[in-house]
Amino acid sequence: METTENVSEFITIVIPVLNREATIERTLASVDAQSLRPAEVIIVDNGSTDSTYSIVDKWVASRTYASILKEPKPGACAARNRGLELVKTPYVMFFDSDDEMLPHHVRDFEDAASRTRADIIGRTILTEFSNGTRKHLWFSARTPMFRHLFNSTLSTQRIIVKTELVRRVGGWNETLPGWNDFELGVRLLQTSPKMYHLFGKPSVITYQTPGSITGTSFSEHPERWEKSLAVIREEIAPRLRPLVDARTMVLAARYAAEGATEHARRLYDEVMSRTPHKRRMAFIYRHNLIFGHGTWVLVRLLFPIICS
Q: Kindly give the confidence (pLDDT) of every residue in the chain, 308 residues in length, as a single tens digit, with 9 standing for 90 and above.
A: 344 569 999 999 999 999 999 999 999 999 999 999 999 999 999 999 999 999 999 999 999 999 999 999 999 999 999 999 999 999 999 999 999 999 999 999 999 999 999 999 999 999 998 888 999 999 999 999 999 999 999 999 999 999 999 999 999 999 998 999 999 999 999 999 999 999 999 999 999 866 555 556 788 888 899 999 999 999 999 999 999 999 999 999 999 999 999 999 999 999 999 999 999 999 999 999 999 999 999 999 999 999 88
Shortest CA distance to 57 belongs to which of 66, 228, 65, 49? Answer: 66
CA distance 245 to 303: 12
CA distance 238 to 196: 26
pLDDT of residue 208: 84
pLDDT of residue 218: 87
CA distance 233 to 245: 8
- What is the pTM (predicted TM-score) of this model? 0.93
Strand, helix or coil at 67? strand
Task: Please count the other Cβ atoms lying within 10 Å of the Cβ belonging to residue 32.
Answer: 11
pLDDT of residue 217: 78
Give me the residues paired with residue 135 across strands.
127
Q: List the helix and strand counts (H, then E) for the chain.
A: 13, 11
- Could you please report the per-residue DSSP string of 273-293? TT-S-HHHHHHHHHHHHHHSS
